[in-house]
Amino acid sequence: MSSEPRNRDRDSDDRVEDETGRSPDSESTEQFVARFLAATKGVDPRELLHQLTALASEARVPAAKAFELPPRPETPVRIQLRADLVGARPPLWRRLVIPGEFTMADVHDVLKEAFGWTNSHLHRFDLGAAYSRDVPGIVMQYEIDEGDDGILESTVTLDQVVSGPGDAFTYTYDFGDNWSHRIVVEKVESLDEAAPDARPAQCLVARRNGPPEDIGGIHSFDELLAAAREPSTNQDEWVQEQLEHYGPEFLEDADAEVNIVDLNARLSSLSAARAVPAWLAEHPSPLADLILKTLTDDASRYAMRVLGACGVNDDRPAPSEADAARATAVIGTFLSFIPPEGVSLTTASYLRPSVVSAMMAELDPKKWWIGEANREIATPPLLNLRTTVSALGLTRVRKGHFGLTVAGAKVAHDPVALWRHIAKRLPVESGRWAPDIGMLLLLLVGAQQEDFAVDDLSVSAAPSGASASSAALTTLIDELDWLTGAAGWHFERSNSYSRSQAFGAVRSTVDVLTWAATGELFGSRGMKAEALLSDGARELARAALREW
């Protein structure tokens, strides 16, 4: 199927003629100007401007020609493509293998990852050699909402757009910088019907790293590269400013080899995300509503990709008793000090000093807490722990006594059962929006693994000089804020959300995850990043998501 003919010139019978029979296409510019001046001679310039403005407002852009796509092939196929960044010298390209069942929205995600774009600009697909306003493209939801002509990218699959070697289409990213990618089919292979979710997109060859965002387009990119390779004291002021802005990493990144292993890990996560919508539809829950109904389109796709990385639709065994004991050590130790009959509270409803001292001796053996640690009101970490344990449904206050709930009594001395109970009750927070923010936090923590991290999908940049774990935590906090904003939530006393506000709103859930990671009340002291991004926190977060 050749896609080129779809982008053709307007037919000759579309030409517009005036009452004299002349066509604008049949006369030179000079002839048209002379005729215009003769026709408007003596007309008041203000009146002429008024008439021209009125004509412009009444003008109609010719309707874009519609096109129809063929049905999908009966046999699943895998399509090998070569994607070139148009105008790059030397060539900057990728050889990709993409399942034909991928929608063009999925293909956008593949190309975005392959070339290093951050998804911070609009994009579209065209069946011709370049973008043309006369031919409708395959477009984003945003363009459909704006009334533009085209076919929604999430409703079209790759195997409808191309079918054989030589078929081609164009992908344009960022209409300002106008990054045009020419994609040509090299090979089409049939696939086994089995296990469609096991067919990830893959990069076979990658030549040159992609340009930075907002650099001005391919010509600016080439100009800056040339200037960086051959510095000169006579460089243009704009060139000097740009090179200072991007720093020495600009040339280092441009000359570095593409890390195909990392790229393919990210592409694999795309395939995992494709199974998530069906899983969410089969498991109605607040989590499904949050992702499918509350978040914006971009944020929803992002959240599904993160959820796919969490492996929530995989069968996971319960943790070993040793792992569960470590993950529940803080909460389990606290519960062990509460006898079946409970403990009496002070008249101000605090734990008595003797109980506080005994608990802190066990929970803080390294004496991290400065002070006597014998009054609950003066020992915020313990007061926070008691509040959190009660929010998890393990303890309660009744008639001046603090004791275990029925559920708490059942699991207090069984680490695996306690771990499962905690997972079912996460996130800790209650209220109008805090539970949803807590679920987003669980998503981001649960996605951390060796071959994938939230940092791989980052919409933000960690500060330079930060350690790997600190940078990852910074990214996670920024991602949580971004998703919170994408859900339309705003915080009191603030016109908008800003960095770390969302993270602070789910501090109790953060504490439970860090306790699970370290097994200590103060175990994350100075190591919040390492704790929150560790195995213990990740597994508890994933278990909590599976409960939803």
How many whole angstroms separate alpha carbon 152 and alpha carbon 306? Answer: 23
How many whole angstroms separate alpha carbon 136 and alpha carbon 58? Answer: 22
Q: What value, to the nearest 5°, has the Cα angle with vertex 524 and ends 519 and 526? A: 155
Q: What value, to the nearest 5°, has the Cα angle with vertex 458 and ends 210 and 117? A: 25
* E strands in 417-491: none
> What is the pLDDT confidence band of residue 7, given thresholds at 50, 70 and 90?
very low
CA 322 centroid distance within chain? 35
State the amino acid at position 466 in one-letter form: A
Which residues, in sequence order, are bridge partners of residue 452? 449
pLDDT given at position 463: 41
Asked whether residue 412 carries a pLDDT value surpassing 80, the answer given is yes
Burial of 291 (0-12, 13-18, 19+ CB in 10 A): buried
pLDDT given at position 524: 61
> What is the pLDDT confidence band of residue 449, given thresholds at 50, 70 and 90?
low
In the chain, the percentage of residues whose pLDDT exceeds 90 is 40
Q: What value, to the nearest 5°, has the Cα angle with vertex 94 and ends 90 and 97? A: 160
Name the pairing type of β-strands 137-139 and 150-152: parallel
Contact 318, 548 (CB under 8 A): no
Burial of 190 (0-12, 13-18, 19+ CB in 10 A): exposed
Domain map of the chain by residue range? 77-272, 283-315+426-547, 330-414
> Mean pLDDT, the chain, as a whole number?
81
SS3 148: coil
Least confident of 4-13, 314-323, 365-374, 466-475: 4-13
Which H, E and C letters describe 240-286, residue by residue?
HHHHHHHCCHHHHHHHCCCCHHHHHHHHHHHHHHHCHHHHHHHCCCH
How many whole angstroms separate alpha carbon 238 and alpha carbon 236? Answer: 5
Contact 541, 439 (CB under 8 A): no
| Equal CATH topology for 77-272 and 330-414 | no
How many whole angstroms separate alpha carbon 405 and alpha carbon 193? Answer: 52
Instruction: State the average pLDDT over residues 106-118.
Output: 93
How many whole angstroms separate alpha carbon 34 and alpha carbon 20? Answer: 15
Asked whether residue 72 carries a pLDDT value surpassing 80, the answer given is yes
CA torsion through residues 518, 310, 507, 481, sign: positive
In terms of phi and psi (left: phi > 0; alpha: psi -120 to 50; beta: otherwise), the region of 512 is: alpha
Instruction: State the average pLDDT over residues 142-149.
Output: 81
> What is the pLDDT confidence band of residue 295, given thresholds at 50, 70 and 90?
confident
More confident residue, 14 or 500: 500
More confident residue, 192 or 123: 123
How many whole angstroms separate alpha carbon 303 and alpha carbon 441? Answer: 11
Q: What value, to the nearest 5°, has the Cα angle with vertex 85 and ends 79 and 87? A: 140
Looking at the structure, give the CATH architecture of the domain made up of residues 330-414.
Answer: Orthogonal Bundle (1.10)
The CATH class for the domain spanning 77-272 reads alpha beta
